[in-house]
Every structure is written in C-alpha cells, then in structure tokens.
C-alpha cells in the first residue's frame, strides 16, 4: 500500500509539473483564459484564487442546474488515497515494466487476468482536453491502470509540496518555542558540583575480583587453552592437497606420489666416487630387473652435453596406460571391532525367570504325542496321541487322572478357557469330540451335563443332507461329537468359551467353520480363502479372526464379516501361528525353520525374521503373563525367547534369544510336535514324537 501511494504521489507531481510548464492556463466558464503562472509565486494569492474558484463553482451550480452539481459531486467523491480504496491489481513487488508488453496487468482476487485499458494517443488526448474543461486535473495511475481526477484540495496540496511548504496551510512550521524548563529558584539548569573523589581512586570491588581470579588460576580452577604449536618447517609452495583447483566436484583429491628428491649422483657432473666402474656396470646386468638401479650416474663436461632422457616416451606411454586401465583410488580401511557390530542385548540374568531345565516327564502314551493343552488354572494338562488315547495329567505330580480311547489318531486338543467349563475339544479324523472331564463341583458338573446333551441329530443349513457338520450325542464318552466331511486338523476356543473353530485343510469353501456350543449351531463366515488353510485363531480381546494359509495370514473382522488385513510373511509354507496376549503382535512359524514377528500397528510385512531352527517348526506359543515366547521343531529342540512388547508405540518390541531346550529323541524323522506355556508360571511343556511330555522349569 505505501508503494502504491508513492507511485500515485509521483504521478500527481509529474502531472502538476506538466500543468505548470505545458498548460498553465485553465479555461473559465465565460470562455476567457486566466493565467496561473504568476499567481503561484505567492501562496496567499494562490489560496485566494482557490477560494474564488470554489465560489465560482457554486455559481456554476446555480446557473447550470443539476447536471453541473452532479459533476461537482462526482469530482469531490473521487479520491486517490490508497488507504481507503484498495488496489485492484495484485502484482505485489513485481516491477510494472514486466507487464509492458503484456495484454494484462496483474490478477484479481479470483486469479483472473486484469486486462489493460486502451491508451489514448496524443491526438485523442488533445481532443479530450478541448472537449473536457477539467481534463487537466486527470492523471494516469500506472499501478491500477486507470485515470484519477484530482480534487481541488489535492491540487492545492501538490502546489504547496512543490514549493517546499507544508501540505496543509493551517500548519505553522515556525510556531513559537515553548520553554518547558522551570527557571524559578534555579541557579543553573545542570549541576555544577565538583567531581567526587571515588572517581579518581582505584575501586576496591574490582581489586577483590582480581584477587579471586588470581587465586582461581593458581589453584587450577580456571584453565586456559594452550596455544597451538606451529611446526618449525613448512612447505615453501604450500600443500598440493589443499589447492582448491584440485578438488573436483566435492570429491577427495588424491595427490600423486612424490618422487625421491635428486641427490649428488643425479648431477650432470657428479664426484668421481659416485660414478660406477665398468665392472660394477657389468654386474648390474646379472641382477634381476627389479633389483637393478634405476639410474646410473654419468659425467658430462657441461650441461649442454647432457642428452635427452631415453625412456621419456616409453614412461609417458606407460603412465597413460596406468591412468586409462588402472586409475588411482584411495582405499579407506576401517578398523572395527566385530563385537561392536553385535546388538547390545540385556543380560540373561536380568531376563529371568524363564524355563531352563527339564523338571518332570509324563509317560504313558504309546505313540507320538501330537498335541497338548493346559487347563486355565494350570493344575491339569491334557494330551492327545496317535495311539488314539486322550489323557489328563496332574501337572505337579505327573499322575494320570483320566483316559479316553477315541479309537483314531488325535490331531489336536484344546481346553475350554473358562474355569467353570472344564470341557475338552478333541479332533480325530473327521470328528471333533467335546468331552466332559468330570472336574469341578456338583453344580458345574450338572451345568456341563446339560450343555453337552443333544436330543436328536442336528445339522447346519436347516437339515440339509449335504451339510458340513452334524451334532451327535456320544453315549460312550458322555459328550457331543461333531461329524465333518473332511479331516479336521485343528480346533481352537474363543476367549468366552461358547464358540470354537475347526479347520479342514481339504474342505475348500468349508475349510474354516465356527461352532456355538450353547445353541449347537455351525456357521461358515469365510468361504473364499484361495489357499489351503493351516490353522485359525481368535483374537484375545477384539472380534478379529486370524486364518493362516500356507502363504499368508488373513485377518477378518467377524462383526463386519470382511477382510481387514493380510499379513505377508514371505515364507515357503506357514505351519503355525500364535497371537500375543495384547493382540497387537503375531508370530508365524514355517516349515523352513524361520519365524516371523508381525506388528499389527506397523505394517503387513514382518518386523523381524528369526532363522531359528534347521528343520520344520511344528508350533509357536506365547506366554499369557510373562514376556516369553517359544518355538518347537523336528530337530528335537525348543527355543525360548524373551519378547517384551512396550505400551509406548514409539518403542519397538525387544526380542532376545534365551535358551535352547534339548531332551527329546527323534522318531521317524519327527522331533518335538507341540509346545505350550503354563498359564501362570514360567514353565514350558513340550510333546515329542518319542511319546514323552516334558516340563521345563526355571
């Protein structure tokens, strides 16, 4: 805005000069010409003329009527002040000459171009001045590309400014001086007292500070930097490596190796003792080429007699070959301690407790133990084997409490997570058995007996004969049997204990089913997997459902019945899956011996890949309360890891390998088939192909 005001003021001054120099005459109302040149010499007469013009303009209004009054009103309302009228052009600080050859000048608030007005030539301007008696008041505003008509008050201000006077006549630049000082009873306006004595004697306070600094320096409390010692010798012509011309595009300059300085023997007239004899020259021919001296001194009478270097052309050619075929490079050798490259992990002593040694063995199965499951309280453990037997053991004593003969190899076994419902789900062949373990008080036993009772054969899909599952009462085992069309590989319970899921790898569209125990109902929410299913797990806190196929892990939202995430482990074949108790982290085991740790909030790609086992991983498991997770493999070992998940989202999980547990023996190429943590203690249970269950304690 100030720049626009300055431009308008300069244009006004230029117009006023033109009025004074080129057209100092203003046509009056009666056709006569009145000169202003002489009137401008005196300011009083100029003001008088201005007042007479105002009176005459009022007279014109009486004679001409309303038309002239409207013209006078429009001229009075026009104002070139930039503070009240905002500029139309928005070119900012751009010079106006940049728009000299353009058809527009600036842009409006909507971003559209503001086109220039057609400029008048000199003939049109002259004719406009003849037709319009007030054309001499108009000036062209280059910034806004418009003509502005000056008012009488603005013309009066411009005239006073051109004469070096104040813009307004009512301002008095030579006002009388007002003496603000009170002179009554004052001998002098300033003090003439003599200088005090303290200004001429040393300061005691400064002396104390100096003594403090001296004592601090003597005691060594204040230390000064020692001046850098400059070497006594320096290069006469400077260092070649510091020349700015040799630094090409920021790359480090590699100086050429400097040859050995010439000595006495390189002189054209050396002493006699430096000149070899003929016998010595002949002995040089018997040496190896790399052992021969590069230069043999010779003696010349004058410098003019010295011949040209005989190998100059050959050495120049060899140098070109070196630059072309083998350029010089600077190899920076970094001395790094290999121990420093290892990540700094906490000590194992600080991460205790975790399972270390085998404390107890559970023997009784005659075949490989495929699956184990621990009751919620941690007092009982159930196991299923290929010999068709399901056994319940007491954890602390190893006593076998109960045995069921299923009659078929048990694939998977899972205990109900509710303590008041000690029900065991067993998958064997095409059937899933819900067994009453007989634990609990009388009221709980009665409730379980009512829950595991089916009056008639129930099928899903409203009695469809080709249904996937049928609910049948099993009289022998006092439970319920769910008959499937295909072989069931795994069975897992929901955290509330009413729902459980079964997986049939060859079930195609009915591979994963969800069953409700209270209503004896079966649902098939996921029908398209595009890959054989391996296992399925419920989320510990949310209504999410994890289905692991051989290539990836798919996460579904059961409340919306849609896929929300797809985890890509990048492994050959997924074998098992486990969910962290917090629900935000997942570990996936594979048949190539690798484990993948996924952070659900981070990415669909693995956060860590752990190449743990040399053989297939059979199962992975998280501990419910301790920051531990484990994996078991066909190499007859179980690996225990420390996996701390922090509540701070900016801090990554801490994964530390702790222990490798041995003890199982191989049978038919199989090793440890399953592993589970104790729900309350840092204990690990492992089930092996050698029909033995082991308990590892801290």
Contacts of 644 (CB under 8 A, 6+ apart): 627, 653, 654
Q: How confident is the model at residue 412 (pLDDT cuts 50, 70, 90)?
A: very high
Q: How much is the average pLDDT of 612-618?
A: 88
Helices (H), 22-90: 43-64, 66-77
The secondary structure of 183-221, three-state, reads CCCCCCCCCCCCCCHHHCCCCHHHHHHHHHHHHHHHHCC
Query: Do the beta carbons of residue 427 and residue 434 sit within 8 Å?
Result: no
Task: Give dist(CA 55, CA 277) in Å, integer.
Answer: 128
The predicted pLDDT at position 441 comes to: 83
Query: Do the beta carbons of residue 359 and residue 696 sit within 8 Å?
Result: yes
Q: Which residues of 260-279 are buried (b: 16+ CB within 10 A; e: fewer)?
A: eeeeebeeeebeeeeebeee
Q: How much is the average pLDDT of 521-542?
A: 87
The pLDDT of residue 30 is above 70: no
Single out the residue of 581, 681, 687, 623 nearest to residue 378, CA to CA: 681
Task: Give dist(CA 685, CA 351) in Å, integer.
Answer: 20
Q: In what order do the strands lie in the sheet with 490-493?
A: 490-493, 499-503, 512-516, 521-523
The pLDDT of residue 623 is above 90: yes
- Per the listing, tokens 């107890």 go with 360
- Fold classified for 349-697: Methylamine Dehydrogenase; Chain H (2.130.10)
Tokens of 27: 């046509």
Of the CA atoms within 13 Å of residue 560, those in its CB half-sphere come to 8
The pLDDT of residue 20 is above 60: no
Question: Would you call 550 exposed, middle or buried from its count of C-beta atoms within 10 A (0-12, 13-18, 19+)?
Answer: middle
Q: How confident is the model at residue 25 (pLDDT cuts 50, 70, 90)?
A: very low
Question: Would you call 535 exposed, middle or buried from its count of C-beta atoms within 10 A (0-12, 13-18, 19+)?
Answer: buried
Of the CA atoms within 13 Å of residue 318, those in its CB half-sphere come to 5
Please report how the helices 2-21 and 152-162 are oriented relative to each other, as an axis angle in degrees rounded to 10.
80
The model carries a pTM of 0.53
Question: Would you call 358 exposed, middle or buried from its count of C-beta atoms within 10 A (0-12, 13-18, 19+)?
Answer: middle
Q: How confident is the model at residue 444 (pLDDT cuts 50, 70, 90)?
A: confident
Single out the residue of 511, 521, 525 nearest to residue 561, CA to CA: 525
Task: Give dist(CA 562, CA 472) in Å, integer.
Answer: 31
The predicted pLDDT at position 532 comes to: 85
Output Rg (C-alpha) for the chain, integer angstroms: 52
Question: Would you call 504 exposed, middle or buried from its count of C-beta atoms within 10 A (0-12, 13-18, 19+)?
Answer: buried
- Per the listing, tokens 């690996």 go with 639
Q: How confident is the model at residue 578 (pLDDT cuts 50, 70, 90)?
A: very high
Strands in 11-145 per DSSP E: 25-27, 33-35, 104-107, 113-115, 138-141
The predicted pLDDT at position 89 comes to: 60
Going from N- to C-terminal start, the domains of the chain cover 22-58, 349-697
**pLDDT tens digits for 44-93?**
444 433 444 444 433 444 433 444 444 334 334 444 444 455 556 666 67
Mean pLDDT (the chain, rounded): 79
- Count CB atoms within 10 A of the CB of residue 104: 13
Task: Give dist(CA 402, CA 639) in Å, integer.
Answer: 31
């Amino acid at each position: 805005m100030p720049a626009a005001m300055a431009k308008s003021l300069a244009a006004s001054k230029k117009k006023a000069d033109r009025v004074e120099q080129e057209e100092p005459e203003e046509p009056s109302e009666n056709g006569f010409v009145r000169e202003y040149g002489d009137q401008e010499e005196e300011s009083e007469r100029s003001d008088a003329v201005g007042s007479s013009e105002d009176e005459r303009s009022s007279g014109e209004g009486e004679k001409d009527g309303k038309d002239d009054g409207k013209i006078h009103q429009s001229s009075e309302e026009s104002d070139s002040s930039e503070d009240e009228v905002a500029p139309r052009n928005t070119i900012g600080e751009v010079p106006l000459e940049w728009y000299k050859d353009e058809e527009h000048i600036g842009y409006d608030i909507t971003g559209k171009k503001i086109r220039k007005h057609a400029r008048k030539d000199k003939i049109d301007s002259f004719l406009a001045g003849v037709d319009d008696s007030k054309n001499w008041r108009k000036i062209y505003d280059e910034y806004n590309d418009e003509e502005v008509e000056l008012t009488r008050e603005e013309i009066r201000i411009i005239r006073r400014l051109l004469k070096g006077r104040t813009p307004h006549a009512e301002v008095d630049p030579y006002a009388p001086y007002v003496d603000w000082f009170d002179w009554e009873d004052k001998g002098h306006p300033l003090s003439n007292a003599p200088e005090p004595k303290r200004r001429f004697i040393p300061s005691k306070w400064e002396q104390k500070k100096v003594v403090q600094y001296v004592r601090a320096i003597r005691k060594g409390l204040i230390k000064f930097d020692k001046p850098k010692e400059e070497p006594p010798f320096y290069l006469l012509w400077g260092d070649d490596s510091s020349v700015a011309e040799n630094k090409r595009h920021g790359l480090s300059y590699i100086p050429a190796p400097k040859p050995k300085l010439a000595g006495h023997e390189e002189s054209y007239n050396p002493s006699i003792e430096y000149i070899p004899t003929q016998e010595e020259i002949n002995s040089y021919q018997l040496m190896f080429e790399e052992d021969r001296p590069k230069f043999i001194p010779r003696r010349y009478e004058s410098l003019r007699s010295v011949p040209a270097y005989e190998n100059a052309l050959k050495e120049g050619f060899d140098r070109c070959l070196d630059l072309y075929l083998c350029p010089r490079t600077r190899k920076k050798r970094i001395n790094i301690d290999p121990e420093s490259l290892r990540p700094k992990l906490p000590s194992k002593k600080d991460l205790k407790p975790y399972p270390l040694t085998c404390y107890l063995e559970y023997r009784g199965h005659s075949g490989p133990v495929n699956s184990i499951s621990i009751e919620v309280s941690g007092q009982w453990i159930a196991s299923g084997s290929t010999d068709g037997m399901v056994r319940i053991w007491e954890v602390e004593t190893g006593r076998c409490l109960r045995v069921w003969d299923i009659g078929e190899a048990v694939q998977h076994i899972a205990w109900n997570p509710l303590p008041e419902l000690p029900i065991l789900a067993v998958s064997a062949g095409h059937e899933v058995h819900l067994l009453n373990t007989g634990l609990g008080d009388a009221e709980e036993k009665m409730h379980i007996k009512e829950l595991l009772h089916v009056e008639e054969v129930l099928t899903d899909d409203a009695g469809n004969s080709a249904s996937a599952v049928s609910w049948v009462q099993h009289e022998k085992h006092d439970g319920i049997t769910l008959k499937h069309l295909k072989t069931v590989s795994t069975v897992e319970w929901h955290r509330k204990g009413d729902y459980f899921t079964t997986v049939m790898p060859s079930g195609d569209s009915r591979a994963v089913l969800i069953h409700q125990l209270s209503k004896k109902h079966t649902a098939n929410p996921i029908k398209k997997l595009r890959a054989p299913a391996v296992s399925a797990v419920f989320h510990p806190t949310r209504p999410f459902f994890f289905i692991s196929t051989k290539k990836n892990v798919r996460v579904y939202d059961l409340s919306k019945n849609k896929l929300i995430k797809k985890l890509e482990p990048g492994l050959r074949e997924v074998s098992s899956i486990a969910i962290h108790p917090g629900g935000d982290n997942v570990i996936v085991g594979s048949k190539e011996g690798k484990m993948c740790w996924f952070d659900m909030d981070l990415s669909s790609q693995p956060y860590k890949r752990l190449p743990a086992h040399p053989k297939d991983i059979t199962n992975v498991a998280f501990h419910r309360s301790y920051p531990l997770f484990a994996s078991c493999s066909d190499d007859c070992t179980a690996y225990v890891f420390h996996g701390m998940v922090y509540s701070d989202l900016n801090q990554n999980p801490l994964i530390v390998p702790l222990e490798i547990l041995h003890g199982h023996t191989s049978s038919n190429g199989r090793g440890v088939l399953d592993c589970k943590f104790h729900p309350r203690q840092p204990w690990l249970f492992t089930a092996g192909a050698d029909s033995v269950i082991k308990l590892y304690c801290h």
